[in-house]
A and B are shown apart, each in its own frame.
Chain A
Amino acid sequence: MTGYSGVWVYAEHRNGVISKNTLEILGKGRELADKLCVELSAVLFGCNVSSSANVLTIYGADKVYVTDDEKLRNYKTRTYARLMTELILKHKPEIVLFTASTTGRDLAPRVAARLRTGLTANCIDLDIGDFEDKETGRRYEKILYQIVPAFGGNVVATIVTPFNRPQMATVRPGVFPPPEKIFRKGEIVLFKPEAIDVDEEVEVLEVNRSQEESSLENAKIVVGGGLGVGGPEGFKLLKELADSLGGCVGVTRPVTDAGWMPYDSMIGESGRTIRPDLYIACGISGALHHMIGVRGSRKIVAINNDPKAPIFEAADYIVIGDLFQIVPKLTEKVKKYVGAL
């Protein structure tokens, strides 16, 4: 395992625009690299993407490996996986991180299997620490702690990959705050393999990525609704409150299961992760699935008529009462006196 050094982040982009989630991971990657006293590098593949490399140094990368080639215009799993593997084998990073997007979750396992190394999915946090192997009593220093929510209770598991390198993980979008620009003086390294091994068995017929990023993830204020809202009618009240605050409405899984609100408004473990300044939870009991998606909120207000609702454990401000009285009153007062920041 000696000889492996450095933290890498695979950079996702849309037509050269680096994804917000990549920058979030880059921020965390910087922190991990500093703890390890090693370099942070980003990897950027695509066509006409070289000019975007400096964005990655601005947000903390010491080095950006770029392969800019017509053959990489469209993402193809095996083409990208072969290239990524080649680059990893050449430079031997100790940690490689991906966004848990549909692309990251498509690519990372392919690379991990090629390298016969471990991969931890959908991390909600990362850290550096030691690991003692109970069987052999051996101690492994400065390895990657990969923290993931574990099924079946309010638990998180810390996963480690002590014996294999690189240590690989995908990271849930939205779990880390967007990083500050630090204007690092980074180095851009062009990686030109002798031949790019293009997957000829796959043809990309069409790519449609016209939809905007969800406004829910970017909203400063989110009003959330659970089964306690009672039905689609009740959500009109929540929408009015959200509008008065310049915010958005999000919901729990049972609400989308019931068909009251669209699937893409679901916040939680299998939905979106938000980190607004203010989250107002209305008629939400506080299941783990949902709470994982809102734990990054600066302040949480919970409105519920059940004094025993578990959400009150996880709230800054507790309002025990009927949301059908409180919410319209709140909207009325907000309209009169308050504006969003």
Chain B
Amino acid sequence: MKGVINMHIIVLIKQVPDSREYVRIREDGTLDRERVRAVINDCDKNALEAALQLKEKFGSKITVVSMGPPKAEDALKEALAMGADEAILISDRRLRGSDTLATSYVLYKAIERLGHYDLIICGIESSDGGTAQVGPELAEFLGIPQATFVDEFKVIGGYVEAKRLVEGGYEKLRIKMPVLLTIMKNANNPRVTTFSGILKAVKKQVVTWTIDDVGAEEKKVGLAGSPTKIMKVEKLSFQRKRLMIEGETADEVVDNLLKRLVEDGVIRGGY
């Protein structure tokens, strides 16, 4: 192992509503994140696990960064308990309603403030937004290369060798660090937080930064700084014909169904 020892790895995590619970949508179309149980976004845990494995191998420092409401501190505390060294929460009322471009701009400013880093790892996408855009947009702001949809990677002397998913197969890339990776859920199995991990994490603090702390311009963040706007939110209609197929026996039901389907021209046959 030459070239890279004592890496600084930045892991981006997002606190998301537990997908098993109902989420209220506000009048302006944004999600009300205050009232539901919140968890670390699923594949962000895989991103952290990947970083922890590198730390065990090379002795790295891991900084977890999140942007969100004050209660996102819980997600960062969990990340500290899993083994991260430092945690930064970018939290500011003026950030509410930020789209992916505004979000990646703020993260870019925060990472600039953190100084040197070798690797940025995040999950491929969040379970609530699901855009998969913040990673690549952030990499563009930082001017570093990226590999998205990665399910395997290793660090070899200043380079990352990553296998990424593409339509119909995969590709393997060799990328000079620093690089941003987005990690798939099947990349690894995130460790479970242990009691001793929680005890160690008690001593660690989550540092909170405002947009002023990171030097982000107010006009480039939040609803006003987001090029995309939610115009309206409406119910998706799946309504169809809803014709009940009846019959005394299963035989009759099946006959009646097949007759209909032949009439509709979706199957052909002697009915």
Contact = CB atoms under 8 A, between A and B. Distances in A.
Interface of A: 12, 14, 19, 74-75, 77-78, 81, 101-103, 105-106, 108-110, 112-114, 116-122, 131, 145-146, 149-164, 199, 201-213, 221, 245, 269-270, 277-278, 288, 291-292, 295, 298-301, 312-321, 325-326, 329-330, 333-334, 337-341
Contacts of A201: 145, 175-176, 179
Contact of B166 (A103, A116, A212, A299): A103
B271 A102 contact: no
A316 B238 CA distance: 10
A112 B242 contact: no
B176 to A, nearest CB: 4
A113 B104 contact: yes
A155 B174 contact: no
Interface of B: 17, 22-25, 29, 31, 99-101, 104, 127-141, 145-146, 148-149, 161, 164-176, 179, 226-236, 238-245, 250-251, 253-255, 257-258, 260-262, 264-271
A277 B268 CA distance: 12
A121 B100 CA distance: 10
A161 B100 CA distance: 13
A238 to B, nearest CB: 15
A102 B149 contact: yes
Contacts of A212: 168
Contacts of A312: 242
Nearest to A124: B236
A205 B238 contact: no
26 contacts: A77-B136, A77-B145, A109-B135, A113-B141, A114-B140, A118-B99, A119-B101, A122-B131, A151-B23, A151-B129, A153-B23, A159-B228, A159-B229, A160-B231, A199-B145, A203-B173, A203-B175, A205-B174, A209-B167, A209-B171, A212-B168, A277-B267, A315-B240, A321-B253, A338-B262, A339-B268
B231 A203 contact: no
From A102, A153, A203, A314, residue with most partner B Cβ within 10 Å:
A102
Contacts of B265: 341
B266 A341 contact: yes
Contacts of A313: 238-240, 242
B25 A152 contact: yes
B266 A157 contact: no
Contacts of A314: 238-240
A105 B148 contact: yes
A160 B270 CA distance: 51
Contact of B133 (A121, A152, A292, A298): A121
Contact of A202 (B31, B173, B229): B173
Contacts of A245: 267
Contact of B137 (A113, A159, A221, A295): A113
Contacts of A325: 250
A106 B136 contact: yes
Contacts of B257: 301, 317, 319, 330
Contacts of A131: 229, 231
Given A151-B23, A210-B168, A119 B228 contact: yes
A321 B145 CA distance: 55
B243 A160 contact: no
Contact of B146 (A77, A112, A340): A77
